[in-house]
Structure formats: structure tokens, C-alpha cells
Amino acid sequence: MASRLKLIVAYNGEPFSGWQSQPNGNGVQDHMENAFERICSQRLRVHGAGRTDAGVHALAQCAHADLPERRYSPDRWRSALNGVLSPAIRVMRCGFVAESFHARFSAKEKVYRYRVWNAEVLPPLEDNRAWHVRDPIDFRLVAASAKLLVGRHDFAAFAANRGASVADTVRTLRRVAVRKSGALLTLQFEGDGFLYKMVRLMVGTLVQIGVGAISAGEIEARLTRNAKAITRVRQVAPAAGLFLVRVRY
């Protein structure tokens, strides 16, 4: 009897070509499917809650796979998968769910976190874990400007072209939190969905505001798609500072 297994997966995105399966076989999805094949001796499709780009990390990506049979308990599946996966990918927990559950289509909200290190020197252990910005960032200005992103807006100006047009670019951000601890600036975004590179483009804009390169009015101009009011080319924050924190159902 087939069973649907839900998995919470964490990974260091540095060595991988993003979540989605790639022709080079280096997507996290590819590695997950290879692991199932080694255990089950057949290829199983692993469905993720959403794509993460190359270099983006995950603390709790959600995925599911349909097993040909309930061969092991959830804890045994976790051990078996982690035994063959790269150390950079770990199944944190898993469990059987109803067939009506779908990692992508059942998701209600996603939480992303972006880390910016604002000091002259980047500590070695922050390499590939944060965006190193040397110019002083006005934390209060960033926090105030971030509030402009909250709500239901057309985020087309905060999306990159993946090669195919997106019919609906309206999304709802329920919360944007900005925190500072020493040199570390953390920006957390909670919303019902995110467009391609949307978080990284929002962070890029907020950092530009924080260092005084543009005004906070740039956010309103981009949300209203007022091309004449946009004063600067969009800046995409590096992938290395971005973490998928949680998927809510």
C-alpha cells in the first residue's frame, strides 16, 4: 500500500544548484530522489514546497514523496535517508500524512530570513552565511522602510524574470521584521507566496535605502510601478544570506 511521507529538510545551499532538479543533477531535489532510489531500488518523485535558488539555504524546507510501501517507520526513514545523503542535506524529521497533503499546493505561508553583516570585517564563519556590507546602514531607516512592504501589493518590480511570464504578481506580506544584534542585521519576511528573487530584491532595495543611495519613496514607486519615480537600477542581494526558515500549512 502506497504511503505519502512528509519530510522537513535542511540544507546548506552553497554546493547545490538550488532545490529544483537540474540537468546537471545537482539540485537538492536530485539528491533527495537519488537517496530514495538507493533505498527503494526505484526512482521516486520528491515534491518540494517551493524552489530555492542556487546558494540559498534552508532550515526547514518541506517536501513529500509517495512510497511504494510502508517499509520503515518515520524515524527509520530519516536515518536511512541521512545515511546516504550528502552531509550538506539533512532530513530533520518526517512522518506519514494523508494523500490530500501536498508540500507545495497545501502551503499557506512561507517564512524567509536574510542576514546582513554590517562591519568592515566579515568573520570567517559568516562567509557564505551573510551579505557583507561595509558602508554604515541606518537600521532605523531600514526598519521603517520595511513596513511599506507589508500588505497586499503587486510585487512585479521586486521579481526577476525566470524565462516565463507570471500572470499574477500580487502577493501578501503579513509581516516584515528587522532586527539588529551587533554587526548582524536580520530581515524576516512572512507571506503567502514569493516571486522569483523577490526577497533578494526587497533586501537589496532596503540596503540601498539604509546606506543612503536611494530614498524610501523608491519602495512606493516600485509597488505602484511608477517607472518615472524609480531612481536606481534594482540590486539583487546575494543568495548566500538567504534562508528558507519555515513553511506553514
Q: Is the pLDDT of residue 139 over 80?
A: yes
Residue 53 known to be catalytic: yes
Give the structural domain span for 43.
3-97
**Catalytic-role residue among 53, 66, 138, 168:** 53
Domain membership of residue 139 (yes or no) is yes
SS3 assignment, position 80: helix
Each residue's pLDDT tens digit, 49-61 = 999 999 999 999 9
Q: Are residues 64 and 122 in the same domain?
A: no
Q: Are residues 49 and 122 in the same domain?
A: no
Q: Which three cell numbers stand for residue 234?
A: 534594482
Give 20's pLDDT tier (boundaries 50, 70, 90).
Answer: very high
Domain membership of residue 226 (yes or no) is yes
pLDDT recorded at residue 115: 98
Closest CA to 188 of 197, 172, 201, 177: 177
HSE, CB side, 13 Å, CA atoms: give it for residue 181: 3
Average pLDDT rounded to a whole number, residues 66-85: 93
Each residue's pLDDT tens digit, 148-199 = 999 999 999 999 987 667 789 999 999 999 999 999 999 999 999 999 999 9
How many domains does one find in the chain?
A: 2
Mean per-residue pLDDT over the chain, rounded: 94
pTM over 0.85: yes
